[in-house]
Amino acid sequence: MKNILAIDTCTEVCSVSLYSQSNKTSRFLKDLSKSSGLILPLCDEVLDETGLSVSDIDLIVYTKGPGAFTGVRMCVSVVQGMSLAFDIPTLGVSTLELVGYGASKKYQVNKVAVALDARMNEVYLGLYDQGIFANEALSKPSEVLQLDSSYIGVGTGWGAYEQELTDATGVDTYYADFYPKAENLIDLALAHIKSGGSLDGNLPLPTYLRNNVAKKSLK
C-alpha cells in the first residue's frame, strides 16, 4: 500500500494522517466544539500538503467506534462516501484498540486497560495486552474486569470514574488525558497488512456497543 489515509473522529478529538513515501502527514484537533465536522477540511489539508488527491489513496483506515455517537457516525459516513466514490478499500479499527496501542507505544508498556467515558455511568472498556486487543465491552465502572497493577489505565473513563475503576481493577497508574491519534492507525494498518490480515469485506460499519441510547436514557 503506497498511500494510506487514516481518519478518527470517535471521541473528543479529531485527527487525520496520510501515509505516503514512508512519511506521515498528520493533523490533530482537541477540545473544539463539533470537531468531527472538521474532518473533511483536515483531509483536504493533508492531501494538499502531499500533492495527492483522494483518487490516489490505496486504503482508508478508520476508527469504527465505540465512542461518541455523532463522532462515530461522522467517521464512518465520511469513509463510506470516499470508499464508494473512488472504490477505495477500507479497514476499520476499534477506538479502544487504537488508544491501547498508542499508550503502549508512548509509555513503553505491554498491558493497557482502556476505559472511555460512555456517559450514563458506564465505560467502554478494552484490554491491550502484549500487542493483542481483547475484551471490548460496555460496562458499569464498578463491574469491570479485575486486573492488577501490571496494567496502566488510559482514557477519559479513568478521569470520570477514577475511584470505581481503580477499586474494581486494581490498576493504580492511569492517564485520563489520553486520546486516539490517526497517525497510530497507520502503524496498525501497516502491521495488519504485513501479517496478511484481511481488509473490510463490505461497506464500512460502526461499532456502537450501546444499541439504543434513547431507550437506555429513559430507564
Give pLDDT tens digits for 86-140.
999 999 999 999 999 999 999 999 999 999 999 999 999 999 999 999 999 999 9
CATH (residue range 96-175): 3.30.420.40
Domain 3-94+180-218 adopts which CATH fold?
Nucleotidyltransferase; domain 5 (3.30.420)
pLDDT tens digits for 49-95? 999 999 999 999 999 999 999 999 999 999 999 999 999 999 999 99
C-alpha cell at 139: 460496562
Tell me what the pLDDT averaged over the chain comes to: 93
By three-state DSSP, how is residue 11 classified? coil
Whole-structure pTM over 0.85, yes or no? yes
Task: Pick left, alpha or beta for residue 50 (phi over 0 → left; psi -120 to 50 → alpha; otherwise beta).
Answer: alpha
**CA–CA dist 122, 193 (Å, integer):** 34
Confidence of residue 217 (pLDDT cuts 50, 70, 90): very low
Domain span(s) for CATH 3.30.420.40 in the chain: 3-94+180-218, 96-175
C-alpha dihedral (136, 168, 151, 188), degrees to nearest 10 = 20
